[in-house]
């Protein structure tokens, strides 16, 4: 039989299996075992297999997973079909014609961005190190060579001053970060909290710690994770950006190669999808790091996985790639709703290898990034793979302070907190995200945005306000009452909104002030405010002002704090009575 005749026979055989019934119910035509056997025979007789990822209508009856020889599912609305390479286009075309099929796309070969050589950290540069912690600054051996921690200067524009953010932040919430990669191992600087293996390399599920110096060429995921969460302030190696639980989601083999389908499945796993047929991750992930990519547009199965993660409040951070071309040609860098990260050097110049273009959102240090080497010692690394975990660490830093920050808020804040580049030859995003500016923006715009303290008689919407009537009926002096109005400040179960009075000249912190009022509603009343002696701030605490979520207080809008003239003028009681009558009447 000729090659073309054999190919035609193969397509007809697959079509017969797929389309025997209008509902595409393969199981109704042949047994699962028989169908798999027929598919394997076709693949064995032809060229290497191609996996087609089929998106179905929700709750559709399309059933093609029986054709897949051990493929992973990409979610409840997907099936995976394995076919010979030469039959892939024809089979995909036939599938697209069927009712209930929304999209048919190929699984794409995926890898860590083109690897760049690493170099050991030279002990002759020890003069850069700090031997003891100074005012909370980490004392890790190579801390001063972690340039993304150091302050930006006119010369070193690529330094992001994460130190300033680290020292100012109140780190109140435990964060969980998923690194989707390969080359994971436990190390004195970083132990993984859990994970899962979605590849066919090793024992599925349990073998997520895959790095073996004898058999593997890549410890890529270990380096990525260490930049985010290495043990800090232990007088060794480097400082991790956040104290976090890191999860090793293995979606590539130990040489850093795999498939985009496994990566999409890993995203869903990290986001808590329970339809994958594997044990659930069991925690709320805050950030997903994807320092990997494939050539091509963003397929529906990856975009849907990202959308699912975002619906769970998870920020997805992605490497732009190391091919020195437009990042729009690579996925998931070109997917919607991700933060795509390019690379600059210490001087703030575009790294020679970094991808660029409209798909890039921000850039961060990606040259001479120091991290532990699982084979011993510490090394410098280069690539957008290592810019990306710096961005992931910054997002996690925000979530440590307030877990309600959304993916859109995180992206907006990282973009709005940038400094200027040095030399660039192509678009590299909004700029180089700066840690100090990020922390300032967070403190000034996210926490308690719109919260206020004002006199009760200055409010405009008293008609339906039983709150004030209750106080009046209890014979309070209404002229001494003030309203706290809370916005954009989630209330933790069992806690209260607490108003603090802090003497002028002191930092606006709970530990510098005295609790003067508390409530569990977003509007509550406090008496006797003295704006001549005190500034006022708000925080979520126990009702007595202890056990606050953060020490730094929310600054309040006090533009309507002054007592109305009717409270102080002659005949004030008569004026006040008229005001109160207005309150009663609405």
**Residue 2: CA atoms inside 13 Å, Cβ hemisphere, count?**
3
- Domain ends where: 434, 464, 492? 434
Domain shared by 471 and 425, yes or no:
no
513 assigned to some structural domain: yes
Confidence of residue 562 (pLDDT cuts 50, 70, 90): confident
Query: What's the number of domains the chain is made of?
Result: 2
pLDDT 10s digits, 284-327: 999 999 999 999 999 999 999 999 999 999 999 999 999 999 99
In a domain, 155, yes or no: yes
Same domain membership, residue 463 and residue 407: no
36, pLDDT greater than 50: no
- Range ranked top by mean pLDDT from 36-45, 528-537, 559-568: 528-537
Q: Are residues 501 and 366 in the same domain?
A: no
> Residue 115 pLDDT > 80, yes or no?
no
- Across the range 206-229, mean pLDDT stands at 88
Q: Which residue has the tokens 């409270």?
A: 567
Name the pLDDT band for 549 (thresholds 50, 70, 90).
confident
Say yes or no to pLDDT of 573 above 50: no
Give the CATH number, domain containing residue 268.
3.40.50.200
Closest CA relative to residue 265, chosen from 297, 235, 288, 240 = 288
* Percentage above 70 pLDDT, the chain: 78
- Residue 505 φ/ψ region, left for φ over 0, alpha for ψ in the -120 to 50 degree band, beta for the rest: left
Query: Whole-prediction pTM value?
Result: 0.75
Q: Are residues 501 and 423 in the same domain?
A: no
Q: Does residue 474 share a domain with residue 360? A: no
Residue 80 has pLDDT above 70, yes or no: yes
Distance of CA 141 to the CA centre of its chain: 28
CA torsion sign, 298 to 228 to 161 to 448? Answer: positive
Is 100 a domain residue?
no
Can you read off the two tokens belonging to residue 455? 């006199």
Predicted pLDDT of residue 282: 95
- Torsional sign, CA 27, 50, 219, 160: negative
Q: How confident is the model at residue 43 (pLDDT cuts 50, 70, 90)?
A: very low
Q: Region 77-90: what's the mean pLDDT? A: 90
- Assigned domain for 206 exists: yes
Query: Is 233 among the domain residues?
Result: yes
At 279 the pLDDT is 92
Residue 544 lies inside a defined structural domain of this protein: yes
Q: Residues 202, 274: one domain?
A: yes
Grade residue 1 by pLDDT with cuts at 50, 70 and 90.
very low
Do 281 and 349 fall within a single domain? Answer: yes
Grade residue 25 by pLDDT with cuts at 50, 70 and 90: very low
Percent with pLDDT over 90 in the chain = 57
Rounded Cα distance, 247 and 239, in Å: 18
Please give the positions annotated as active site. 181, 220, 385
Q: Is residue 487 part of a domain?
A: yes
* 295 and 260 in a common domain: yes
E strand or H helix that includes residue 385: helix 384-401
Average pLDDT, the chain: 82
Which range is least confidently modeled, 197-206, 248-257, 420-429? Answer: 197-206
Beta-sheet pairing, 244-250 with 194-197: parallel
Cα 254 from chain centre: 25
> Looking at residue 389, what is its pLDDT?
98
Contact 241, 402 (CB under 8 A): no
CA atoms within 13 A on the CB side of 314: 29
Burial label for 279, CB within 10 Å (0-12, 13-18, 19+), is exposed
Among the residue ranges 118-122, 171-175, 372-376, the one predicted with the least confidence is 118-122
SS3 state at 356: strand
449-459 per-position pLDDT tens digit: 678 999 887 75
SS3 94: helix
- 133/409: higher pLDDT: 409
Mean pLDDT of 542-571: 79
* Boundary residue ending a domain (434, 457, 478): 434
**Domain co-membership, 382 together with 498:** no
pLDDT digits (tens, 9 = 90+) for 147-192: 999 999 999 999 999 999 999 887 878 999 999 999 899 899 999 9
Q: Phi/psi at 237 (nearest 5 deg)?
A: 50, -120
What are the strands, taking DSSP E only, across 327-451? 330-331, 339-344, 362-365, 369-372, 378-381, 418-419, 432-433
Tokens 């498939």 correspond to what residue? 259
Question: Domain of 371?
Answer: 141-434
Residue 75 forms part of a structural domain: no
Looking at the predicted structure, is the pLDDT value of residue 126 above 80? no
Domain final residue, candidates 434, 468, 484: 434
* 57 — pLDDT class (breaks 50, 70, 90): confident
* Stretch 51-65: mean pLDDT: 70
What is the arithmetic mean of pLDDT over 560-573? 65
Confidence of residue 136 (pLDDT cuts 50, 70, 90): confident
Rg (CA), the chain: 29
Q: Which of 56-60, 91-95, 169-173, 325-329 has the lowest mean pLDDT?
A: 56-60
Question: Are the C-beta atoms of residues 146 and 370 closer than 8 Å to each other?
Answer: yes
256 and 377 assigned to the same domain: yes
User: Across the strands, what pairs with 364?
Assistant: 343
Same domain, 525 and 417: no
The pLDDT of residue 554 is: 87
**Does residue 316 share a domain with residue 195?**
yes
Question: What residues are paired with 344 via a beta bridge?
Answer: 350, 365
The answer to whether residue 26 scores a pLDDT higher than 70 is no
Counted residue by residue, the chain has a size of 586
Kindly state the greatest CA–CA separation across the chain: 111
Comparing 67 with 537, the larger pLDDT belongs to 537
Phi, psi (degrees; rounded to nearest 5) at 364: -145, 170
């Amino acid at each position: 039989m000729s090659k073309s005749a054999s190919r035609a026979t193969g397509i007809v055989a697959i079509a017969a299996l797929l389309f025997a019934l209008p509902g595409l119910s393969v199981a109704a035509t042949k047994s699962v075992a028989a169908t798999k056997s027929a598919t394997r025979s076709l693949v064995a007789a032809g060229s290497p297999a191609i996996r087609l990822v089929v998106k179905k209508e929700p709750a559709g009856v399309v059933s093609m997973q029986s054709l897949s020889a051990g493929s992973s599912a990409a979610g409840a609305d997907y099936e995976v079909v394995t076919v010979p390479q030469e039959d892939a286009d024809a089979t995909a075309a036939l599938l697209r014609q069927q009712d209930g099929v929304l999209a048919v796309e190929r699984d794409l070969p995926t890898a860590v961005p083109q690897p760049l050589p690493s170099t050991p950290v030279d002990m002759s540069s020890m003069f850069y190190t700090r031997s003891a912690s100074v005012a909370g600054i980490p004392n890790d051996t190579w801390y001063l060579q972690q340039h993304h921690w150091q302050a930006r200067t006119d010369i070193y524009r690529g330094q992001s001053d994460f130190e300033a953010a680290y020292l100012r932040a109140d780190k109140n919430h435990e964060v969980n970060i998923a690194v989707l990669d390969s080359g994971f191992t436990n190390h004195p600087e970083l132990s993984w909290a859990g994970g899962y293996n979605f590849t066919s390399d090793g024992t599925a599920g349990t073998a997520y710690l895959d790095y073996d110096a004898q058999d593997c060429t890549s410890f890529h995921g270990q380096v990525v994770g260490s930049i985010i969460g290495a043990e800090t302030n232990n007088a060794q190696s480097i400082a991790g950006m956040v104290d976090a639980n890191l999860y090793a989601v293995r979606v590539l083999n130990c040489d850093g190669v795999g498939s985009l389908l496994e990566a999409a499945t890993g995203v869903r796993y990290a986001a808590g999808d329970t339809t994958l047929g594997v044990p659930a991750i069991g925690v709320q992930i805050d950030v997903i790091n994807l320092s990997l990519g494939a050539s091509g547009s963003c397929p529906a199965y990856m975009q849907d996985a990202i959308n699912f993660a975002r619906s769970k409040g998870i920020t997805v951070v992605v490497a732009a790639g190391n091919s020195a071309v437009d990042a729009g040609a690579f996925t998931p860098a070109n997917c919607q709703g991700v933060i795509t990260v390019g690379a600059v050097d210490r001087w703030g110049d575009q790294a020679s290898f970094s991808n660029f273009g409209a798909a890039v959102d921000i850039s961060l240090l990606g040259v001479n990034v120091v991290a532990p080497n699982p084979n011993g010692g510490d090394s410098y690394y280069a690539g957008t793979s290592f810019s990306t975990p710096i961005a992931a660490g910054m997002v996690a830093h925000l979530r440590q302070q307030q877990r309600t920050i959304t993916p859109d808020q995180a992206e907006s804040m990282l973009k709005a907190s940038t400094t200027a580049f040095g030399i660039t030859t192509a678009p590299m995003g909004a700029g180089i995200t700066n840690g100090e500016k990020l922390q300032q923006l967070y403190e000034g715009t996210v926490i308690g945005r719109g919260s206020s303290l004002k006199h009760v008689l200055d409010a405009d919407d008293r008609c339906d306000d039983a709150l004030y009537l209750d106080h009046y009926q209890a014979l309070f002096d209404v002229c001494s009452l003030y309203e706290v109005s809370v916005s954009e400040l989630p209330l933790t179960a069992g806690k209260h909104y607490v108003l603090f009075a802090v003497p002028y000249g002191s930092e606006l912190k709970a530990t510098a002030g005295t609790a003067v009022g508390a409530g569990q509603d977003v509007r509550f009343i406090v008496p006797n405010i003295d704006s001549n002696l005190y500034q006022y701030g708000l925080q979520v605490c126990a009702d007595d002002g202890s056990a606050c979520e953060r020490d730094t207080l929310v600054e309040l809008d006090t533009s309507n704090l002054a007592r109305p003239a009717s409270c102080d003028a002659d005949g004030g009681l008569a004026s006040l009575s008229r005001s109160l009558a207005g309150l009663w009447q609405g």
